Chain A
Amino acid sequence: MADVLLAGVGGQGNVLSARVLAEAALSMGYDVKTSEVHGMAQRGGSVVCMVRWGEKVHSPLVEVAKADFLLAFELLEGLRFLHFLGGEGTAIVNDYRLDPLPVLRGDAVYPEGALGFIRAYAARTLEMDARELAVRAGNARAAGSCLLGALSRFLDFPEGVWEESIRGAVPSRAVEVNLKAFALGRAGTAGPS
């Protein structure tokens, strides 16, 4: 049984990453459920996807303080959903800041030390500059695959399963870039942090 949260900003590709992860878990023979927020969220709003797998899964939603992994595509969004992570949970964090409009406007302040909060709370924190790695792989939009690559180190899915589900879920023109981004994330190349 594993519960994963993918938190980010609309347009960052976390819905697609959740799809890749869920298909991988399905290939492993598990019962799988995912949940995502649609609609207005694609306009640069906060987006969270949940993926759960195990022998039998009931709720498509992860309970507060029960997630095993939090994949934060952006620091503030990681912080926003941090309370879903369980006491033994692992945070995999893209060290990337994208100011929401209230901050750009000057009506709110971006929380300083977001990464520090995450480090202090999660049992284990893995930081990476996924955007930089994705650019190296060929496209900044493949950052989600870098995070999945990092997550894959903690799961016992064979590499072929990941490749198959990336090929199945990602549009064909972006497959190679995403495979490369996944490999970079899996290799654990930590960016500057």
Chain B
Amino acid sequence: MKRALMSGNEAVALGAWRAGVRVAAAYPGTPSTEILEELAAYPEVYCEWSPNEKVALEVGIGSCLGGARSLVAMKHVGLNVAADPWMTLPYIGVNAGLVLAIADDPGMHSSQNEQDSRYYARMSKVPMLEPADSQECLEMVGMAMDISERYDTPVMLRLETRISHSRTVVEYREDRIRVDHPYEKDALKRVMIPGHARMRHPLVISRLEELEKEAETFALSSLEMRSSRVGIITSGVCYQYAREVFPEASILKLGLVYPLPEKTIREFASHFHRVYVVEELEPFLEDGIKALGIDVVGKTRIPRDGELDPTLVARSLAELIEMDTGVKHGGWTPPVPHAAIPDESELPGRPPVMCPGCPHRGLFYALNRNKAVVSSDIGCYTLSVLPPLAGIDCQVCMGASVGMALGMERAFDSSEANADKAGKVVCVLGDSTFIHGGITGLIDMVYNNTISTIVILDNRTTAMTGFQDHPGTGRTLMGEDTSALDLAELCRAVGVQSVRVVDPWELEEMEAVIREEMEAPRTSVIISRRPCVLRERRAGVVYRVREEECTGCRRCLRLGCPALVMRGEKAVVQEDLCVGCSMCAQVCRPGALEEVAEGG
């Protein structure tokens, strides 16, 4: 047996390889990204970045029907994109196993909403497994594959940020099973015309009833009897928090969270005066248990929003448990506030910022100067919403910026109150994001004679999640060279009349192009192209302020570059942050910023 420290995502990848997965697909999304990155390093597995989650799932459906065990990974909001094929897949079933690893993000560390994927399990009538540490991540992938094939259903493996990105000890063997299921045509089962689908739905329902029996005996659910007075039902990382702060409590830990094991829950609950449910986000277990007629305490005490932690779990329940049962829990004492520490809320925040030299910075500076109304997508550039750039009006989800821009333009066109905004709408989205969900919106814009300007922030990578390749980069996840999608040609092909490529480090030229295209009565695309500075910085050059020339006008600070600070009345460049992009020198009126050799 080998022993290693692994993140949950690494363990899912290893588990998938051990379970004989031959095809895996994903679109990168925190906290799920590393699953495919890790899996791509194993031999004998085809791994791909798909343009979006819907396509990733469709690839997985095809490969599992074709006889290869398959894994599809995405973050919670990705399942909204993939929901259309996902809802029909349970009707079709699988041939070889298909597991969807779905990563929720309680606390919204890097997401636009908090969404509890367990409801998707219920909505699609698909079983859901939930690991409580990396060891369980590893093992549950194999168990999920097994369940998938035995019940002819896709299976969800639900992770959370704190499972995906925690490292815990994993013991494992480097063995791999080989499965290859023969393919046989079965149109009645796999072609979901209404007549076929009507026959399939009752089977999906009866399968769910069968799965309830599986839930009663699931090997990674555990019944831990300790105190006879305090009973807790929990799952996932919340199990660890409950163990930590209530070491004497009896715990029913569910490894298979949908469908619920009714008999096991009834049996467990019968031992206690009151049962507590510890779960993150929605009262999913709680509602299910209450529906069995068992009274439990959960969300009336434990917050429904945000991420839990041991302190929060203890604070929510310790007092009640003591009152209810007389059991005082030695594991936890309330922290004593200390007068010597300033309150956290009084400290200046440290929001994430666009990097020094980030090519997006120049674009937003230029948009601001043209008083654009900016409809934005999701990516690093969304950070320009913060002052001083404050350059974004709205943002919802990947791909939405294009359609939203069209809608806004139509509203302004027909408005007296907002007449000054007409012709001012600009949509921004990244290269990867454009391919993910922007192309169809662009076709709509052209088709419906829209005059808005679309800016593709082409930094040649998927930067926000850590530099993943995409169809525009010319390289696959597995490191092979491939043809690179030509964004300009694509835009021309769907009918965009004006497609222009600019360098966002060249402020004057960029601004001129933006002004022209905003004024032009046609759909236009500006491709703002420069590679992400974290990958390709300008070598050997930094900028420095000539103190005698600096008038202290603070104009350079409007760029919001972290490398530029005021020291007294003068601007100063922090040279170890500067990447030599020159944008500050371009906006400085007195010409106080000069280029110097790095370290010189």
Chain A: residues with CB nearer than 8 A to chain B?
9-10, 19, 22-23, 26, 31-46, 57-61, 63-66, 76-77, 79-80, 82-83, 99-111, 117, 120-121, 140
Contacts and interface: CB of A to CB of B under 8 A. Distances in A.
B1 interface: no
Contact of B388 (A9, A34, A105, A120): A105
Contact of A117 (B4, B109, B311, B340): B340
Interface stretch (B179-187, B237-245, B291-299, B493-501): B237-245
A80 B162 contact: no
B127 interface: no
Interface string B23-63: 00000001100000000000000000000000000000000
Contacts of A109: 348
Nearest to B356: A44
A42 B354 CA distance: 10
Contacts of B3: 26
B303 interface: no
Contacts of B173: none
A79 B346 CA distance: 11
B391 to A, nearest CB: 14
27 contacts: A23-B5, A32-B169, A36-B165, A37-B165, A38-B30, A39-B109, A40-B30, A41-B110, A43-B354, A44-B562, A46-B349, A58-B243, A59-B241, A59-B309, A63-B314, A65-B336, A66-B335, A76-B350, A80-B350, A99-B565, A101-B350, A101-B351, A102-B351, A104-B562, A105-B557, A111-B342, A140-B576
Given A101-B386, A104-B565, A77 B350 contact: yes
A39 B30 CA distance: 6
Nearest to A77: B350
Contacts of B4: 26
B466 interface: yes
B531 interface: no
Interface in B119-169: 133, 161-162, 165-169
Contact of B350 (A22, A32, A66, A100): A100
Contacts, number: 164
Contacts of B351: 45, 100-102
Contact of B310 (A23, A40, A59, A110): A59
B341 A79 contact: yes
Contacts of B354: 43
A64 B102 CA distance: 29
A59 B338 CA distance: 24
Interface in B265-321: 309-311, 314
Contacts of B464: 39-40
B309 A61 contact: yes
B253 to A, nearest CB: 12
Interface string B457-471: 000000011100000
Contacts of A23: 5
B600 interface: no
B139 to A, nearest CB: 17
Interface string B213-241: 00000000000000000000000010011
B352 interface: yes
A190 B314 CA distance: 40
Contacts of B386: 101
A19 B347 CA distance: 28
A42 to B, nearest CB: 7
A68 to B, nearest CB: 15
A30 to B, nearest CB: 9
Contacts of B133: 33, 60
B162 A110 contact: no
Contacts of A40: 30, 109-110, 352, 383, 464
